[in-house]
């Protein structure tokens, strides 16, 4: 008998598995490699919503967890995936500079926004008004991390490469059973595929398609993450990610020409040097109308749990959400009310 069966190994599932292992719990993971949103993500962690100059939700609580969590994973998996990189907000005008200074003087953002203007030293960037720096930022190579973590679980005999079939799940009074695996509890961490889950599909999950361009730009030589009309993320060896887009209608995970055209247009506004497009990535982010994650226990079936809805901030939310789910599943506590699935109990009662 396992303590847990975890379905899905994106950032949410990985973070909870790691929390289980740190607490000495046994578990198995079932995954079919379809959770592309986590693997194609830019992987930036950033405590500020730069478009509106607002502190990201619970950034003061989540940010201190990020670096220790991912650095431990680097040591455990013997990989390099965590990169402490400054995020520079490109100013398009003096008015934007002034808004930055006003925001940096507020209690909420004072710890996260530098009040020094960084003058542009890179001739490859169109940045005549300079930059503002966000403090405490970085990037996690989510594709490398999730690939290494799945390999780690395979070597430990904890990984099942299979598409989950709800018809084969058997709910017992005190545990669940699936394809010969018995577990005290089951956790669903399936991202956008939550819509196919008959136990949790009453929740108001929405899809949000995001696309990135992979480019090569030898003349740019930039080592910071630049936020202009889009994010420009250095990957090393003259390679960069540029994005992302936000699309609410097309829910296919196939890269599209419209997104490519949009990203090229925004890149042309930012760059003064030529670049070559080497690839295009697409994934469906799991988002919630109130922009808060979904964490907690099913209202009726006490063996069923959920961790989902991270949107575009999965790298920063994942360690905190995993801690919250642990408190619910093992300690009988309530999750943070803003993320607890119980906030939608009325929808379940009426479904």
CATH label of the domain that carries residue 102 = 3.30.9.10
What is the domain range of residue 215?
A: 86-136+206-287
Domain check: are 319 and 330 in the same one?
A: yes
The reported pLDDT for the residue numbered 36 is 65
The reported pLDDT for the residue numbered 44 is 96
Interacting residues of 214 by C-beta distance below 8 A, sequence separation 6+ = 239, 240, 241, 277, 278, 279, 280, 281
- In the numeric block, which tokens belong to residue 83? 């990169």
Query: Is residue 79 included in any domain, yes or no?
Result: no
How many CA atoms, within 13 angstroms, populate the side-chain half-sphere of residue 217? 26
Burial class (CB in 10 A: 0-12, 13-18, 19+), 85: middle
Domain check: are 233 and 344 in the same one?
A: no
Cis geometry, peptide bond prior to residue 244 (ω within 30 degrees of 0): yes
The reported pLDDT for the residue numbered 250 is 84
Distance CA 219, CA 199 (A): 52
Domain check: are 220 and 282 in the same one?
A: yes
Closest CA to 134 of 92, 86, 65: 86
The reported pLDDT for the residue numbered 286 is 92
Domain check: are 131 and 95 in the same one?
A: yes
Which H/E stretch holds residue 289?
none
Spell out, as residue ranges, where the chain has pLDDT lower than 70: 34-36
The reported pLDDT for the residue numbered 123 is 97
Collapsing DSSP states into helix, strand and coil, what is residue 29? Answer: strand
Q: With the CA atoms of 176, 180, 181 and 182 taken in that order, what torsion angle do they form, in degrees rounded to the nearest 10?
A: 40
The reported pLDDT for the residue numbered 35 is 62
For residue 286, the cross-strand partners are 207
Interacting residues of 156 by C-beta distance below 8 A, sequence separation 6+ = none
Domain check: are 111 and 228 in the same one?
A: yes
Helix axis angle, 314-331 to 11-22, nearest 10°: 50
Domain count, the chain: 2
The reported pLDDT for the residue numbered 346 is 83
Span 123-146, pLDDT tens digits: 999 999 999 999 999 999 999 999
Domain check: are 195 and 211 in the same one?
A: no
Domain check: are 149 and 256 in the same one?
A: no
Are residues 337 and 329 in contact, defined by beta-carbon separation less than 8 angstroms? no
- Cα-flanking dihedrals φ and ψ of residue 153, to 5°? -70, -35
Domain check: are 132 and 210 in the same one?
A: yes
Domain check: are 211 and 283 in the same one?
A: yes
Task: Please identify, among 287, 304, 321, the residue that sits at the C-terminal boundary of a domain.
Answer: 287
Domain check: are 158 and 108 in the same one?
A: no
Query: Is residue 73 included in any domain, yes or no?
Result: no
């Amino acid at each position: 008998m396992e303590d847990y069966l975890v379905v899905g190994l994106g950032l949410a599932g990985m973070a909870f598995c790691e929390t289980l292992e740190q607490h000495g719990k046994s578990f198995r993971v079932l995954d079919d490699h379809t959770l592309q949103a986590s693997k194609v993500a830019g992987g930036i962690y950033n405590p500020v919503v730069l478009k509106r100059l607002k502190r990201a939700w619970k950034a003061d609580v989540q940010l201190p967890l990020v670096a220790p969590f991912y650095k431990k994973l680097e040591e455990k998996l013997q990989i390099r995936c965590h990169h402490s990189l400054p995020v520079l907000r490109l100013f398009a005008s003096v008015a934007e500079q002034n808004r930055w200074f006003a925001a940096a003087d507020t209690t909420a953002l004072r710890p996260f926004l530098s009040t020094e203007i960084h003058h542009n030293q890179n001739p490859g960037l169109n940045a005549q008004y300079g930059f503002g720096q966000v403090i405490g930022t970085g990037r996690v190579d989510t594709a490398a991390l999730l690939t290494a973590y799945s390999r780690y679980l395979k070597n430990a005999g904890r990984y099942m490469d299979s598409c989950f079939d709800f018809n084969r799940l058997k709910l017992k009074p005190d545990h669940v059973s699936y394809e010969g695996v018995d577990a005290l509890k089951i956790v669903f961490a399936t991202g956008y595929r939550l819509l196919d889950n008959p136990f949790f599909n009453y929740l108001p999950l929405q899809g949000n398609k995001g696309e990135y361009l992979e480019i090569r730009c030898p003349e740019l030589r930039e080592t910071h993450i630049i936020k202009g009309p889009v994010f420009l993320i250095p990957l090393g060896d003259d390679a960069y990610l540029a994005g992302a887009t936000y699309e609410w209608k097309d829910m296919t995970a196939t890269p599209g020409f419209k997104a490519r055209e949009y990203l090229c247009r925004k890149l042309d506004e930012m760059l003064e040097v030529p670049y070559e497009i080497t690839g295009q990535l697409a994934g469906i982010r799991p988002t919630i109308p109130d922009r808060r994650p979904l964490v907690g226990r099913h209202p009726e079936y006490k063996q069923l749990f959920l961790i989902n809805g991270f949107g575009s901030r999965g790298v920063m939310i994942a360690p905190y959400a995993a801690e919250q789910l642990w408190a619910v599943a093992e300690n009988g506590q309530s999750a943070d009310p803003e993320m607890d699935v119980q906030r939608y109990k009325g929808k379940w009662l009426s479904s």
